[in-house]
Amino acid sequence: MITDEAERIAALGPSPRRPARDAVNPAMINNWTEALGDGNSAYPELAPPAMVQVWTMRGLHPAAEEHDPLAAMSAVLDEAGYTSVVATNCEQTYHRYLRPGEHVSVSSVLDAVVGPKRTALGEGWFVTTRSTWFVGDEPVAEMLFRILKFKPGNKSTASALQPTVSRDTEFFWQGTKLGELRVQRCSACGVVRHPPGPMCPRCNALDPGYVVATGLGEVFSYVVHHHPPVPGRELPYVVALVELSEGVRMLGELVGVPPDEVRVGLPVRVGFRPVGEFVLPVWEAR
């Protein structure tokens, strides 16, 4: 089905050339160099070559595009449940630099659709398109662009289990919302501790503070969960018990690493994943 549709779309060949809204112009070049901090004095007499795609961007209110092979293939994959997208490769070749006043148009063709592949993000298909920019009939630049359309690993964050928060633990969950991994630290004796609690088990002080952890650690142990189904998660997935460099251990899902490549001792760093109203810490390989 997906392969059939891919062949059909590929067989349509290059899309009709779609003209840029504006001719190459110094105002947009200057906006670009200003934003990117590019002080190259060759601009704006010449356009930065990496701007080639900018000229034909479809803008704030894009019209429906019936001839765009990437849009067509994305719709097919959306329909099949591969609703998430991430770009993986972009290879641009510039035959020459553009000058203000030149008017480019672009044409794209579906090059390849490969899948289904099991990736770190979930099962997905790699979709590759090739685009060519023209001035008149002269090709001035080309681009290979590859995306991964995938079924998100976190199927429904709405139904996923969310933490229960107490007065003793709310600092932790406030931290994750800010992208901080907070580890409880006794303000009296300085001992760090996870999971947190109201009283320091070493000195019995009732003065818990926290430190923002580096988020760096190593896998101390891990499991690969296959069964039974877990709300909000696609199987299988990896949960790792990580020993942080601060000296405490913490559980979290290990994302982006195929299960058979996980091992005790794997260096990881923290990432953050929103689930409902909360943000959970997750581990990523580093």
Partner 1 sequence: MTVLPELRVEVTPTFIVSTALATRDFQDVHHDRDRAIARGSKDIFLNILTTTGLVQRFVTDWAGPGALVRGVSIRLGVPCYAYDTLVFSGRAVSTSDGVTTVEVVGRNSMGDHVTGTVRVVLP
Partner 2 sequence: MKGAAIAGIGATEFSKDSGRSELRLAAEAALSALADAGLKPSDVDGMVSFTMDTNSEIALARELGVPELSFFSRVNYGGGAACATVQHAAMAVATGAAEVVLCYRAFNERSGHRFGRVSTAAALTVENSWSYPMGLGTPAGTVAMVARRYMHEYGATSEDFGRVAVTMRAHAATNPRAWFHGRPITLAEHQNSRWITEPLHLLDCCQESDGAVALVVTSTSRARDLPRPPVLVRAAAQGSGPDQYVMASYYREDLAALPEMNLVGRQLWRQSGLEPSDVDVAVLYDHFTPYVLIQLEELGFCGRGEARHFLAEQGIGLDGRLPVNPHGGQLGEAYIHGMNGIAEAVRQVRGDSVNQVNGVRHVLVTAGTGVPTSGLVLGV
Q: Is 252 in the site for partner 2 (CB under 8 A)?
A: yes
Q: Is 226 left (phi over 0), alpha (psi -120 to 50) or beta?
A: alpha
CA–CA distance, 7 with 11 (Å, rounded to integer) = 6
Output the smallest distance, CB 247 to partner 2, in A. 11
Q: Is 284 in the site for partner 1 (CB under 8 A)?
A: yes
For residue 56, the Cα-to-chain-centroid distance in whole angstroms is 24
Q: Is 272 in the site for partner 1 (CB under 8 A)?
A: yes
Q: Which tokens in the block code for residue 260?
A: 């058979």
Q: Is 94 in the site for partner 1 (CB under 8 A)?
A: yes
CA–CA distance, 244 with 213 (Å, rounded to integer) = 8
**Nearer Cβ to partner 2 (81/236):** 236
Q: Is 194 in the site for partner 2 (CB under 8 A)?
A: yes
**Nearer Cβ to partner 1 (31/204):** 31
Q: Which does 94 bind (CB under 5 to 8 A by kind): partner 2, partner 1, none?
A: partner 1
Q: What angle do CA 105, 107, 108 make, to 5 degrees?
A: 150
Taking alpha carbons only, the member of 258, 250, 238, 109 closest to residue 175 is: 250
Q: Is 50 in the site for partner 1 (CB under 8 A)?
A: yes
Footprint of partner 1 (CB under 8 A): 28, 31-32, 34-42, 48-51, 53-54, 57, 59-60, 86-94, 97, 152, 154, 157, 179, 269, 271-274, 279, 284, 286
